[in-house]
Amino acid sequence: MSQFLAPKIVFLKQGTDTSQGKGQLISNMNACMAVVDIVRTTLGPLGMDKLIYSDKGSSHSAEVTISNDGATIVKLLDIVHPAAKTLADISLSQDAEVGDGTTSVMVLAGEFMKNCKEFVEDGMHPRVIIKGFRAAQKYAIDKLNELAVDIHGKDEAERKELLVRCAGTALNSKLVSHYKDFFAPMVTDAVLSLDDDLDLSMIGIKKVQGGSILDSLLVKGVAFKKTFAYAGFEQQPKKFENAKIILLNIELELKSEKENAEVRVTNTQDYQAIIDAEWNIIYEKLEKIYATGAKVVLSRLAIGDLATQFFADRDVFCAGRVPEEDLERVQRAVGGRVQTTVNGVTADVLGTCELFEEKAIGGERYNVFTGCLQSSTATIIVRGGSEQFMAETERSLHDAIMIVRRAIKHSEAVGGAGSIEMELSKHLRDHAVSIQGREQTILLAYAKALEVIPRTLCDNAGFDSIDVMNKLRAKHAQGGTWYGVDIKTGGICDAWEEFIWEPSLVKTNAIVAATEAACLVLSIDETVKNPASEQDQMDQAGMLPGGRGAGMPPMGRGRGMRRR
């Protein structure tokens, strides 16, 4: 008796594209590894830079970005493959959480997938690989925490010196690595000047084109570029000591009546009263502001020429259209409160600082508030010859700031230069000997993948990676825990003795994020692509709502049309 199988019915919209099975899994892994290959060459002190050209329709509106920062490159790349985009998103979580190590996450995740690819091709179930990877991650993190060294320091001077070394290691792989001895103390001073909450928004980075990069400076206070100035601005004083500061969200400018405004008058006196009313309103506001005793007036909205001249006549400084970010920092630093009205202003809503002055920095003029007693803040003013170079310097300093900030909160560090990865790889190999079965194979693959960091450092520097890796394996087998790649000589060195330190949190987060990314891609066995909507299909085909197809000439005189 023949047996009939019921037909398979799938309730999916017509045009849905589905791909599944081993082929789809390998395809996803290949797409992720292709993205990894783009950022791989940026890893390390001698990594190469990427020039990303974003064409916005014309050469005048195009943006050119030169960077070796992994997070910046991933953000600017227009990744469309869903699996590769997932890998990029997970790597960006490293930048958001720690601030550095995005490239390491990408490279590690790519190597994990590369080493387990042959297992998938041989028919091993992805869940077995995922289980092995998660076990290997646990062993690696436990060993890393065991090896981490507390660098809190005995006193403030020693603590600062240790933090400067961490900042220098973060800057090693950046475009400004040659100036790390200049920027590392500056970054450390900026972070140490903050309050206990270490709020990152209280550190401002401003760019002033021109001059040498060594002309960059740290202002222990708030500094922002001089705002748009009206007539009478140059008559205002530009320096105050222990001045009161009032912060406003009020427009101090004469405004014309509404277009539809209509007023009926019967005599000229009434007409003049209407004209004077507008002036009386703004003068009343200005008098109330002056009566508070404030010597510096800042507003988020415009301060017109009438108000500017009014304040100049009374030796008061004013600035309108102050950027919201800068006004927020001034508010927190000087202790003031932004006011939306000038009625009933009390002394407790005014801020104060030891010194306010407007001074020239390069070709720009900056308003600088120092000696802020309420909340500590800092501003780093970056100088440089080109906009692209200053933008990359800003990104480099941001990573270093994040590293110092994390090192203060979590004062444990490990050796850099690939030393911690080599030690963890050795530990996993030794542990794999004690277990049997497929987990041993997966553990060895995970251990081999960790070696990609020192190997890539060698490749990017032009060294013989095979020779260096053999020396490192031998040294770690003999107990050289902190031996890593020596970028200066092309050999190996004790990273801890060379002060190449990184917060252990950076490495922990990188290993966890990379493992998570690899396991996520391995867990996908089918990709379903929903069809585009009818409107999207019409747009892609060049269809118009009127039924005209793609490639048809526009309405009007065309070939074959008779002129009347």
- Give per-residue pLDDT as tens, 335-353: 888 888 888 788 888 888 8
CB–CB of 163/188 below 8 Å? yes
CB–CB of 387/367 below 8 Å? no
324 — phi, psi (to 5°)?
A: -60, -40
Q: Which amino acid is at 197?
A: D
Q: DSSP H helical segments within 41-81, as ranges?
A: 70-76
Q: Single out the residue of 499, 495, 498, 467 nearest to residue 481, CA to CA.
A: 495
pLDDT at 84: 84
pLDDT at 343: 83
99 — phi, psi (to 5°)?
A: 100, -15
Domain range 18-150+415-522, CATH architecture: Orthogonal Bundle (1.10)
Q: CA-CA-CA-CA torsion for 500, 504, 506, 509, nearest 10 degrees? A: 150
Percentage of residues in the chain having pLDDT higher than 70? 86
Tokens 């902190």, residue located: 482
pLDDT at 545: 46
CB–CB of 377/132 below 8 Å? no
CB–CB of 380/186 below 8 Å? yes
Confidence of residue 21 (pLDDT cuts 50, 70, 90): low
Checking if the pLDDT of 550 tops 70, the result is no
- Give per-residue pLDDT as tens, 442-491: 899 999 999 899 899 888 888 888 888 898 888 888 888 888 888 888 88
The mean per-residue pLDDT over the stretch 72-98 comes to 80
pLDDT at 37: 87
Domain boundaries, the chain: 18-150+415-522, 156-219+389-410, 221-375
pTM: 0.72
Q: What are the residues facing 54 on neighbouring strands? A: 63
Residue 340: burial class (beta carbons within 10 Å; 0-12, 13-18, 19+):
exposed
Cα(519)–Cα(93) distance, integer angstroms: 16
Percentage of residues in the chain having pLDDT higher than 90? 1
Q: Which runs of E-coded beta strand occur in 257-341?
A: 296-299, 317-319, 338-339
- Topology of domain 156-219+389-410 in CATH is GROEL; domain 2 (3.30.260)
Q: Which residue has the higher pLDDT, 105 or 78?
A: 105
Token pair belonging to 181: 């001895």
Checking if the pLDDT of 130 tops 60, the result is yes
The mean per-residue pLDDT over the stretch 543-562 comes to 43
The mean per-residue pLDDT over the stretch 518-530 comes to 79
Is residue 248 classed as helix, strand or coil in its secondary structure? strand
- Topology of domain 221-375 in CATH is GroEL (3.50.7)
Confidence of residue 20 (pLDDT cuts 50, 70, 90): low
Q: Which residue has the higher pLDDT, 144 or 411?
A: 144
Distances from the Cα of 178 to the Cα of 172, 182, 207, 497, angstroms: 8, 9, 19, 20
Distances from the Cα of 306 to the Cα of 231, 252, 255, 339, 374, angstroms: 8, 8, 12, 20, 33
pLDDT at 400: 86
